[in-house]
Amino acid sequence: MSSPSPSSEAAAAHHHHRRQQAGGSGLVPLAALIKEEARAERPLGSGSRICAREEEDGAGASAEGRRRWRRALLRYGCAAQSKKGEDFFLLRTDCTRPSTSSSSSSASSPPPTFAVFAVLDGHNGNAAAIYTRDNLLNHVLSAMPRGLSREEWLHALPRALVAGFVKTDKEFQSKGQTSGTTATFVIIDGWTITVASVGDSRCILDAQGGTVSLLTVDHRLEENVEERERVTASGGEVGRLSVVGGAEIGPLRCWPGGLCLSRSIGDIDVGEFIVPVPYVKQVKLSNAGGRLIIASDGIWDALSSEAAAKCCRGLPAELAAKQVVKEALRTRGLKDDTTCIVVDIIRPDQTIRHPSPPKKINKLKSLIFRKKAKDHPNKLTKQLSAVGMVEELFEEGSAMLSEREDWKRAVTGTPSCHNANNLPFNVGL
């Protein structure tokens, strides 16, 4: 696994993560967990893995218009095992929200910031994953209008993410390299989480109370019926690899090219049916908080979403990420690059629950739960919304930009052009 972002913070987090892994690959003793929990509870600012997010809340302001600030604390960790050297990740907690309007900030207020976490699983080489890691965030920010309030910024964020994905793909393809990558890109601003994804890297939310929900949709042709129908309706062919004698083997793939994913960044050699338009979901947590697990398919081919969440509950984020990787390797072995980021979004006064030993996972039961999660990606999120733990703000998964609500949200006077699929996007992004 190569280093994450070239930024100083990402590099520091990466080296810190490597030092944390020096203790061996076995299960962590309880005494070590208690020691780690005590270390994780140290005052804010004493470690690179803990940062505070402040969220402006105008609802319920006094008659004088005074704002209240609600603090969201982020604790995060990352673990990885490399097989092919094509997984990459991004950890940034110091991103400044650009050009916030004066009505939502003041000289006495801290600069508005947000955090970014991403997993990029490359294929056919690592060039696309590296390029996406280094450029996607800048393309997203360049697509945002200036002078927005925080509420307007969050409202515009889904469209900017789509524009950023499309521009990253277009620019990488112009280099003529045949590599491709999945991308699961998570932006956290206060208690609001916005996730954009292509491919089969996944982000799940483990909310307080133990309810697990998907914040992404897998774009595997084998399992995603809607994507198969889209590809074939556009004139593409979906089928398995044919071998001598006419037998078909392996997962469903899109031809030409033979990619088993229907969406990705890069992949100039696989034809126009593989698109970079992401599934986007935006939710807002209550101040009860929750845990995000963002991982490549090296995790999800071994563990269901439920199993991944359960195996690390009660552990601090850094140990939780390591535990998820260990559980995946124990279940399936190291058959692919395996990367996991865990982010806890909590109140500053919230403590980590006392750790309990991970339960053994029944493999058959795990596969059943995994299939159910894929068939109903939004069911659990809606259950969380019903009890007030998660507010679903936005969701859009169409591969056609002209059909997407986030693309219709903002209308600009900038001239437009078309990509290979005749989908409009802003050339000024």
| Residue 336 dihedral angles phi and psi, to the nearest 5° | -155, 165
Ranking 130-134, 166-170, 371-375 by mean pLDDT, the lowest is 371-375
Q: What is the pLDDT of residues 70-85, one digit of tens each?
A: 678 999 999 999 999 9
Residue with tokens 């991982």: 295
Q: What is the pLDDT of residues 332-362, one digit of tens each?
A: 999 999 999 999 999 887 765 544 444 554 5
* pLDDT value of position 155: 95
Across the range 145-163, mean pLDDT stands at 94
d(CA 60, CA 52): 22
Judged against a pLDDT cut of 60, whether residue 274 lies above it is answered with yes
Return the higher-pLDDT residue of 239 and 45: 239
Tokens of residue 62, six digits: 């006094």
d(CA 258, CA 237): 10
Tokens of residue 402, six digits: 């002209």
Split at pLDDT 50, 70, 90, the class of 380 is low
CA–chain centroid gap for 311, Å, is 20
Q: Is the previous residue joined to 158 through a cis bond, with omega within 30 degrees of 0?
A: no
Q: At what angle do helices 150-173 and 127-142 cross, to 10 degrees?
A: 140
Return the higher-pLDDT residue of 195 and 52: 195
Q: What is the pLDDT of residues 277-334, one digit of tens each?
A: 999 999 999 988 999 999 999 999 999 999 999 999 999 999 999 999 999 999 999 9
Tokens of residue 197, six digits: 């994804």
Helix (H) or strand (E) holding 360: none
Q: What is the pLDDT of residues 180-237, one digit of tens each?
A: 999 999 999 999 999 999 999 999 999 987 899 999 999 999 999 999 999 999 889 9
Dihedral angle at the C-alpha atoms of 143, 147, 151, 153, nearest 10 degrees?
10
Judged against a pLDDT cut of 90, whether residue 125 lies above it is answered with yes
Longest Cα separation, the chain: 79
d(CA 179, CA 26): 35
Average pLDDT of the chain, as a whole number? 78
Q: Answer positive or negative: Cα dihedral of 312, 315, 316, 319.
A: negative
Judged against a pLDDT cut of 70, whether residue 381 lies above it is answered with no
Judged against a pLDDT cut of 70, whether residue 273 lies above it is answered with yes
Pick the CATH number of 70-97+112-349+389-407 from 3.90.226.10, 3.90.1200.10, 3.60.40.10, 3.30.465.10: 3.60.40.10
Would you list the domain boundaries of the chain? 70-97+112-349+389-407
